[in-house]
Amino acid sequence: MEVGKRLLTFGTSPNNIYKNLWKILTMVIAKSTTLKAFAALLLLSVLWGYNWVVMKYALLDAGPFQFGAMRTFLGALCLMAVMLVLKKPMRPREFPTLILLGILQTCGFTGLLIWALVYGGAGKTAVLTYTMPFWVMVLAWPLLGEKIRGMQWIAVLASVIGLLLIFDPLHLGGDVFSMALAILSGIFWALAVIIAKKLHRKVPDIDLLSLTAWQMLMGSLPLVALAFMVDAPPIDWTPRLFAAITFNAVFCNALAWLLWLYALQKLAAGVASMTSMLAPLIGVLGAWVQLGEKPTVIELCGMAFIAVALLIISIHTIRAHHQIEPAMGQD
């Protein structure tokens, strides 16, 4: 009824038409939980996707371990501030597992992907890092006893073809080290997800925000140590670097995790992970437009194969009615 009233008040002015269309759209979104969840995921994908460009710029002013330490340590503090506001339990649980998760998902995953960005392009690094769900599927077989079946084998084949096309072993260039680091970061992330799955089976009532904040804090400490130990040029405290640190700590950590957990509560299994796969696409497009990183035809074909593999994995998750592992967000 309210929407109908809005339509009747359009008038002939283009400004009125656009204004009322916007009001109708916001009304519909406000009344639809599913649409709000998708809107949260879209914002999340934009944040995580464009952050590849932001991190690439940040590395012009700071070393990879210096920036990684600032991003993760301050990000953990931001999450703990959110926990205080939401009155979440502050006491850490399952401390040994928290340390292991921190080493894998924060120190390993985040540290390696930022290191990879030093030597490689933001777009290509984003795609190779986002092979994470593929590695979860492969590693879950020996570590969790979850066998690869049916459509998943097609995803394996598509991923292997995609990786070979991007690596192009017949014409290996100077960025092979970067590509190896990006893939290794995805493997570290996958191992963290498998450990998180085991933890949730053991302690199903563990608070996810608390788990994320504490593992991020634990994982940031080795990066802080590396930042002091590894020789690097002095940090250039430019406004660009301050903006990048703020964007990473506040928006890509605290806000992003709230959006991710909200979406998981509102959407069916698999749908959230499928939608969040927009992030590497945004990373590739952002790097292409803003950094001038134009992928070759072969690289684009490889990226397409990996995208198909990720889509198949998400569809399989939906059909099998599997629950998404909440730890499958990023730091």
Q: Per-domain residue ranges for the chain?
A: 1-31, 44-328
Q: DSSP letter for 294, please.
A: P
Cα–Cα distance between 280 and 300 in angstroms, integer?
A: 12
Other Cβ atoms less than 10 A from the Cβ of 252: the count is 23
CA 301 from chain centre, in angstroms, equals: 22
**Paired tokens of 62:** 């700071």
The answer to whether 17 touches 10, Cβ cutoff 8 Å, is: yes
What's CA 106's distance to the chain center, in Å? 12
Angle between helices 64-86 and 239-246 (to 10 degrees): 50
Residue 3 is predicted with a pLDDT of 47
Closest of 48, 56, 43 to residue 122, by C-alpha:
56
Single-letter code of the amino acid located at 203:
V
Instruction: Note the pLDDT of residue 276.
Output: 63
- Write down the pLDDT at residue 16: 61
Query: Model confidence over 88-104: pLDDT tens digits?
Result: 888 888 889 999 999 99
Interatomic CA distance for residues 31 and 159, integer angstroms: 39
Q: What pLDDT shows up at residue 5?
A: 47
Write the DSSP string, 271-286: HHHHHHTHHHHHHHHH
Best CA proximity match to 107, nearest among 135, 133, 141, 73: 73
pLDDT at 27: 60
Q: Give dist(CA 108, CA 88) in Å, integer.
A: 27
Per-residue pLDDT of the chain (331 residues; tens, 9 = 90+): 444 444 444 445 555 655 655 665 566 555 577 778 888 888 988 999 999 999 999 999 999 999 999 999 999 999 999 999 988 888 888 889 999 999 999 999 999 999 999 999 999 999 999 888 889 888 988 888 888 888 889 988 998 898 888 887 666 666 889 999 999 999 999 999 899 888 988 888 888 888 999 999 999 999 999 999 999 899 999 999 999 999 999 999 888 888 888 877 777 655 666 666 788 889 999 999 999 999 889 889 999 999 888 888 877 776 765 555 555 555 5
**Closest-CA residue to 306 (of 201, 157, 179):** 157
Residue 109, SS3?
helix
For residue 249, what are the CA distances in angstroms to 183, 235, 255, 292, 303? 24, 18, 9, 26, 28
> With a threshold of 0.85, does the pTM exceed it?
no
Tokens at 26, concatenated: 């916001």
Helix-then-strand count for the chain, H and E: 16, 0
Cα separation, 206 vs 204, whole angstroms: 6
